[in-house]
Structure 1
């Protein structure tokens, strides 16, 4: 049963927060990484593109927390499906978020150029899953940024993107009672997160600080050379 619902956009510290939640016992935590390590999960999300209601007990079967797209896009639906769950809105400086998010989404355009038959087995599976998720990502991007979205934020100017970011944050904050919501910046560390969730912080252990951009690049290089996918892969 889901206990923590992530409502933050990608690149708001979601990978670091995923590691933190799992360390606190809210594991496993659903993250975009799960789709790429379980390509069969793509089919769980595709009905949303047609406007169909998702079966959350099926989509999130076995998970105790959610973060990052695609899950965080549906924060409102999950909040209704799991009324006892608390909601975590990860945030960061909007200008730094825009730079990081643009770097992430600009990679999507390269996916169609890859020949899966020439890739190592796991790389082909991951790229295939990424391609499969493009309709879902497109739907979410258009909803957030408007019609200028084209499978990437490169087509959206910085002002529009930052306005969308701030609008999203405001909508989440206005939609939930204060006692159910934590607006969280990973720089705050264990304190506010543990207090919100009613758990003790790990003794003598620093809050996870994961460099997602570096990890993503290293994973792509590892996959393309026939190596294994390592976590973290996507997020922050």
Structure 2
């Protein structure tokens, strides 16, 4: 493990994931942890994972970004004491505005709903999702809606400040970089001891468009989306077939007759 990103969501975590990948690192972001390691993460969540368990989880992984990494950066750093830590920062007001925009965009996205709710793999990972999302953002409406309901603004801001303070206080100073993605390649590469790539520094998830971007480029998201579309199609066909069979049955004829008789009775009744 080369580097652990302890920065809070909406501080450039998707940009950092892209930057690490461009540097040749095997990076695990939210979706990789969610899809491949959700069972192992549940042990970290309940405190039963050992350092050996964590090292085994991330064998061959060079860098970690986004949630739940930033919540458990201390446990990860204990397992990988050689790893460097980066705290991505951002102006609090712009951070909060971006956070709310992400909420609204995600809750309104049919694509996100298919991936998070309809895919069988997502249903199997529901406990993982509830834990991670609940730690950051508050409550959610539950399956099958799964709309996020964020904490009160003051609580959300307090959590952001407390997280940053905790990292600054506890991270080993000789291994810590406080960094803003607007600084570009130079301070990042100098800290990591790597050469600056001959490519522009990436800027991802502008205007909360990460879901569409990942649907185009991320294999995990593409698989979940495909599963969701197939599941939705199968359910639609089954419901349609069940409706067709019912319409052809005697029960349907009896129901139609009963409704017709009762409607006529109500029409003739002097109740209005």
Q: TM-score range by the shorter chain?
A: 0.7 to 0.9
- Deviation, 1:183, is 0.9
1: CA distance, partners of 2:62 / 2:79: 13
Please give the TM-score of this superposition, normalised by the length of structure 2: 0.65
- Deviation, 1:138, is 4.8
Q: Does 1:52 find its partner at 2:83? A: no
Q: Does 1:28 find its partner at 2:26? A: yes
2: CA distance, partners of 1:131 / 1:21: 28
2: CA distance, partners of 1:175 / 1:5: 14
Q: State the match for 1:91 in structure 2.
A: 89
- Deviation, 1:82, is 1.2
2: CA distance, partners of 1:76 / 1:171: 10
Assess, with a 3 A threshold, how the Cα gap between structure 1 residues 191 and 218 changes in structure 2: closer, same or farther. Answer: closer
Contact 1:11-1:101 within 8 A present in 2 as well: yes
Describe how 1:1-236 pairs up with structure 2 within 5 A. Answer: 2-25=1-24, 27-36=25-34, 39-53=35-49, 55-104=53-102, 107=106, 124-125=119-120, 127-128=122-123, 131-138=126-133, 140-141=135-136, 149-151=138-140, 154-203=149-198, 205-211=199-205, 213-217=208-212, 223=225, 226=229
The C-alpha deviation readout for 1:99-148, integer Å capped at 9, x for no partner, is 3334445647999xx689x95xxxx156336634223215633xxx7xxx
- Deviation, 1:198, is 1.2
Aligned length: 209
The C-alpha deviation readout for 1:61-104, integer Å capped at 9, x for no partner, is 22011111112211111111111111011121222222333444
- Deviation, 1:59, is 2.3
Residue segments in structure 1 that go unaligned for 5+ positions in a row: 228-236
Please give the TM-score of this superposition, normalised by the length of structure 1: 0.74
SS for the counterpart of 2:194 is coil
The C-alpha deviation readout for 1:145-168, integer Å capped at 9, x for no partner, is 7xxx32487442222211221121
Report the RMSD for the aligned CA atoms in angstroms: 3.3
The C-alpha deviation readout for 1:17-58, integer Å capped at 9, x for no partner, is 111112223x2111102145xx34211111234332352123
Contact 1:46-1:135 within 8 A present in 2 as well: no
SS for the counterpart of 2:161 is helix
Contact 1:11-1:97 within 8 A present in 2 as well: yes
Assess, with a 3 A threshold, how the Cα gap between structure 1 residues 70 and 46 changes in structure 2: closer, same or farther. Answer: same
The C-alpha deviation readout for 1:162-207, integer Å capped at 9, x for no partner, is 122112111111112322100111101001101111111012x110
Assess, with a 3 A threshold, how the Cα gap between structure 1 residues 210 and 101 changes in structure 2: closer, same or farther. Answer: same
Assess, with a 3 A threshold, how the Cα gap between structure 1 residues 50 and 135 changes in structure 2: closer, same or farther. Answer: farther
2: CA distance, partners of 1:20 / 1:208: 6
Assess, with a 3 A threshold, how the Cα gap between structure 1 residues 208 and 110 changes in structure 2: closer, same or farther. Answer: closer
Residue segments in structure 2 that go unaligned for 5+ positions in a row: 141-146, 217-221, 231-272
